Structure 1
Amino acid sequence: MSLSNSILTAIYSKRLKAIDRFRRQPWDVQFEQFRLLVGYGAKTEYFKRHGFGEFGTVEDFQRRIPVVGYDELRPEIDRVRAGEENILWPGKVRWFAKSSGTTGDRSKYIPITRESLEQCHFRGGKDVMTVFAYNNPRSKAFDGKTLTLGGSHRLDTMGAGAQSGDLSAILIHNAPKWVGLMREPSMGIALIPDFEQKVEAICRRCSRQRITSFAGVPSWNLVLMNRMLEYTGEDNLLDVWPDLSLFIHGGVSFTPYREQYKKLIPTSQMKYMETYNASEGFFALQDNLSTQDMLLMLDYGIFYEFLPLKDLHEPARAVTLADVETGVNYAMIISTNGGLWRYMIGDTVEFTSLAPYKIRITGRTKSYINAFGEEVIIDNAERAIAAACAATGAKVKEYTAAPIFMKGRAKGGHQWFVEFDAPPSDVMLFAEMLDKTLQEVNSDYAAKRFRNTTLMAPQLVVARKGAFYRWMRSREKLGGQNKVPRLANDRRYIDELLAINAG
């Protein structure tokens, strides 16, 4: 066991016991979180307005407190931003994580309380280190520094003394000093607002540092890593950082990028650990790197509910952990120590295990194609892309898909706009495998495709190199937590991309 891992395991042994407890007694721990949360909530105007008190039951909570999205909660959040106290959480909220979400253009301001910082976001980061160090005692992942490519680290002052910015900025400004000794880049570089300038500065500084791990969104880190190789003239990242051994990733599926990272870091010693965290909270982490599912973290000040995706417009059908099933797509609903009450975060998940509770992210409640009743979700798309790549030797850099709407007597279909790092050996075979796999994993899609009843075969458009990057830059969405929308039920994004591709 490396010295750093020995120290981490010793320091966080108490956390390992706590994690083991919620593995064995999940509902006991969740009910404790519920009681703690409603104790805080009972002091707020929001609870008083809905007639819910400190000693109410879970069932009463579900009857009285409505399921909401950001738009429904926005009036209360705007009041909190203006400095009003005891609206959604006791006292005054000083920080707000600014997020546009995956596909929206309007900014959201997610309240970040001291409790959510300490008990959720920081605890999640520590648990990533703890769990990895315990499971990989010989790894050198924490012997050097962690390179973190987050969003803009600038905080903007709002009214009443509050500050807003990317979650990464709020975390860095509130983190203990020892965290700064373990991470790169420096604060000065992290504060650079322009993504391309930031990447150049990171290359100049970090090519000379001992980087043993890195963290962030796979797509944007891939841009940084490729630029690092251009800057140094090396063939792979091990020539730059010989002890590189861990990538902590999240935000988008890692599946389309896995082979590209293996090429950049050609060693079996490299580990990839997925986390599920967002501005709204830290939810899950991959505790077993041999599987693709993640352990749901149950003692972070979050009470979970799950609404079957088929019942998306019937919130009364939401269930607690006690009643979830494996193999069902659920929209996730959270009540948090950040003052979000029965908040539908917009992600969909599927349980792969109930003892302990493990999940995988399947998509977004607003990111799908269902123009013809086919109900294609991101999980379907990821599986189809992976199968098409395996059949043709392709490596996909980015992709998005949208419906082709019926015109006159013409039938509908799907259009896939795909940018390759390595092109397929046979473009037609790639499209055929995409279609075939979608039919295998989605019976609704298969029914619509049967004998071209409703849907014609998908149309594949091969993007020019850099098309997605140019599109994101035109929208001022480079870097950080900005993500390419994989699926859309209209043609807004794909038509913009097609126009850029033709330019």
Structure 2
Amino acid sequence: MSIKSFSAKLFAKYIAGKTQKWSANPVATQDAVFQYLIKKGAKAKFGKDHNFENIKTAADFAKAVPVRDYEALKNYVEEAVAGKEDILWPGKPEYFAKTSGTTSGAKYIPITKESMPMHVNAARDAILHYIAESGNSSFVDGKMIFLQGSPKLQIKSGIKTGRLSGIVAHYVPGYLQKNRMPSWETNCIEDWESKVDAIVEETLPENMSVISGIPPWVQMYFEKLQAKTGKPVGEIFPNFNLFIYGGVNYEPYRKKFENLIGRRVDSIELYPASEGFFAFQDSQKEKGMLLLLNSGIFYEFIKADEFFTENPQRLTIGEVAVGVNYVMVISTTAGLWAYNVGDTVMFTSTKPHRVVVTGRIKHFISAFGEHVIGKEVEEALASTASQFKAQVSEFTVAPQINPSEGLPFHEWFIEFDTQPEDLDAFAQAIDEALQQQNSYYKDLITGKILKRLEIKVIPQGGFTAYMKSKGKLGGQNKLPRLANDRSIADVLYQLDF
């Protein structure tokens, strides 16, 4: 065992012990975070506008500060982007994480001196928890690759601006720099396909032990490796034994990955966003990711089916229950206050608090009152694909409200690696699996308001072509699983595959 590997085990034990202490006291941990946020936030313009000096409790906060999305907070953000101090948080942000907005163009999410370490430490701690539980630390001696956006940053009003993954790239610890790939030059390549080609050439001769990224883009990397060598990834990199991912559910990709790798490898799920690093998988044995209650984020939760009602109840960590779909609302050391990140989560445990991401509050289908969410379609497809020995590369679902004939239906756009022999039976099985999970959908089917779902087969590479047509190929970009309109579906029909 190397010195680095031995040291990693000692550090992992220390970090796991610290986690156990705060996770065993969730209410006190969150209260301490809340009090700190309010005290600091009172010095900024937002805090003064919302009378933070008079806020003592979470109930006071809920009365004084309404839930906002980016659009509603935009006026404050624009002042900060213009270089003004003490707007959302004391001082100026250290960075702005630039993301793509659906209605507002580019979004600029502030990252402050207090919030930046949380992004870095959480990713580190996820790996350390894996080491603490598994005892496996040998991978720290191999090469590690993180498929991410360009680390090139721009300056906006004196503040560095770029993609979150590019910002974080500047904070890779010194002890990992020699192990980290790709090279800085390769990481700066803007065109994603050219970048992946360069990464293939750069990593082929290396001892890769950890590979990390969003599954669809890692899949592209694996496919290019296999096409170039004719070998499975696990044979090219015999010491590759840990895959770290985030952004989308891994389950629809797992079978495809195991085929590309040639064996099963351990995986760690992360839940990062520009707005904060919310959770990571702390155990290979338990379902869900540990919600990070001690990292400068105060969480509130609203039941998803009540979110669009007037004055829905905002719950704190001591009031949530297992198995309920919640919209997650955050307040942070970056100066985001009662901010709706747009995600829905479900607790798998409250001792400690672990969550799974169930979808996006805007990414659902309820054109007929069915309230179908991402978790339900992913599980229905995964179970059916296993039953039919099919392999799905990518998919999305949209409602067809005005078909040329017959009843409306859900249209599933699926790109297969291995297509089922009987596509009609496959569609029927998915539909039945979805009905079992969603009683509203079942009632609409049995009540003949909707007919059974239909599948539109997308040729291989079709979804990559779609993402490329939208300027969202690679990096941290993800294909929405669900849309409540035909915005994605119509483009897919227009593409010349």
Structure 2: 5+ residue stretches without partners? none
- Choose the corresponding residue for 2:438, options 436, 439, 442: 442
CA 1:154/1:139 → structure 2, altered by over 3 Å: closer, same or farther? Answer: same
Q: Would the aligned equivalents of 2:282 and 2:289 in 1 still touch at CA under 8 Å?
A: yes
Structure 1: 5+ residue stretches without partners? none
- 1:358 positional shift: 0.9
Q: Would the aligned equivalents of 2:347 and 2:356 in 1 still touch at CA under 8 Å?
A: yes
- Choose the corresponding residue for 1:206, options 203, 207, 217: 203
What pairs up with 1:338-417 in 2 under 5 angstroms? 338-406=334-402, 410-417=406-413
Partners of 2:367 and 2:209 lie apart in 1 by 46
What pairs up with 1:479-498 in 2 under 5 angstroms? 479-498=474-493
Report the equivalent of 2:174.
177
Question: Is 1:425 aligned with 2:421?
Answer: yes
Sequence identity (%): 38
The superposition leaves residues 4-24 of structure 1 with CA deviations (integer Å, 9 ceiling, x where unpaired) of 443123234442222001221
CA 1:170/1:138 → structure 2, altered by over 3 Å: closer, same or farther? Answer: closer
Partners of 1:175 and 1:145 lie apart in 2 by 14
Structure 2 counterpart of 1:417, one-letter code: F
- 1:104 positional shift: 6.2
The superposition leaves residues 428-459 of structure 1 with CA deviations (integer Å, 9 ceiling, x where unpaired) of 111011100110000000000005x2101111
Partners of 1:409 and 1:194 lie apart in 2 by 43
Question: Is 1:296 aligned with 2:291?
Answer: yes
Aligned partner of residue 135 in structure 2, secondary structure: coil
Aligned partner of residue 52 in structure 2, secondary structure: coil
Partners of 1:96 and 1:205 lie apart in 2 by 30
Question: Is 1:62 aligned with 2:62?
Answer: yes
What pairs up with 1:113-152 in 2 under 5 angstroms? 113-118=112-117, 120-152=118-150
Q: Would the aligned equivalents of 2:112 and 2:333 in 1 still touch at CA under 8 Å?
A: yes
CA 1:409/1:225 → structure 2, altered by over 3 Å: closer, same or farther? Answer: closer
The superposition leaves residues 278-333 of structure 1 with CA deviations (integer Å, 9 ceiling, x where unpaired) of 11111111122234311111111111110000111245411001111111100000
Structure 2 counterpart of 1:224, one-letter code: Y
Structure 2 counterpart of 1:143, one-letter code: D
Aligned partner of residue 53 in structure 1, secondary structure: helix
CA 1:409/1:478 → structure 2, altered by over 3 Å: closer, same or farther? Answer: closer
What pairs up with 1:92-107 in 2 under 5 angstroms? 92-100=92-100, 106-107=105-106
Partners of 2:393 and 2:103 lie apart in 1 by 22
Partners of 2:113 and 2:358 lie apart in 1 by 31
Aligned partner of residue 369 in structure 1, secondary structure: coil
- Choose the corresponding residue for 1:458, options 453, 457, 464: 453
What pairs up with 1:234-383 in 2 under 5 angstroms? 234-268=230-264, 270-313=265-308, 314-383=310-379
Structure 1 counterpart of 2:291, one-letter code: L
Q: Would the aligned equivalents of 1:2 and 1:137 in 2 still touch at CA under 8 Å?
A: no
Q: Would the aligned equivalents of 1:381 and 1:438 in 2 still touch at CA under 8 Å?
A: yes
Question: Is 1:215 aligned with 2:212?
Answer: yes
Report the equivalent of 1:40.
40
Q: Would the aligned equivalents of 2:12 and 2:132 in 1 still touch at CA under 8 Å?
A: no
Structure 2 counterpart of 1:228, one-letter code: L
Partners of 1:124 and 1:41 lie apart in 2 by 23
CA 1:18/1:104 → structure 2, altered by over 3 Å: closer, same or farther? Answer: farther
**Larger mean Cα displacement after TM superposition, 2-11 or 279-288:** 2-11
Aligned partner of residue 220 in structure 2, secondary structure: helix
Aligned partner of residue 277 in structure 1, secondary structure: strand
Partners of 2:350 and 2:80 lie apart in 1 by 37
Q: Would the aligned equivalents of 2:147 and 2:475 in 1 still touch at CA under 8 Å?
A: yes
- 1:55 positional shift: 5.9
Partners of 1:26 and 1:4 lie apart in 2 by 33
Q: Would the aligned equivalents of 1:140 and 1:243 in 2 still touch at CA under 8 Å?
A: no
**Larger mean Cα displacement after TM superposition, 183-192 or 91-100:** 91-100
Q: Would the aligned equivalents of 2:300 and 2:329 in 1 still touch at CA under 8 Å?
A: yes
Structure 1 counterpart of 2:124, one-letter code: K
How many residues in Structure 1 have an aligned counterpart in Structure 2?
496
Give the superposed CA RMSD.
1.7
The superposition leaves residues 460-501 of structure 1 with CA deviations (integer Å, 9 ceiling, x where unpaired) of 11111111111111111110111111110110111101221x
- Choose the corresponding residue for 1:230, options 227, 231, 235: 227
- 1:142 positional shift: 1.8
TM-score of the superposed pair, with normalisation by structure 2: 0.96
Partners of 2:110 and 2:259 lie apart in 1 by 40
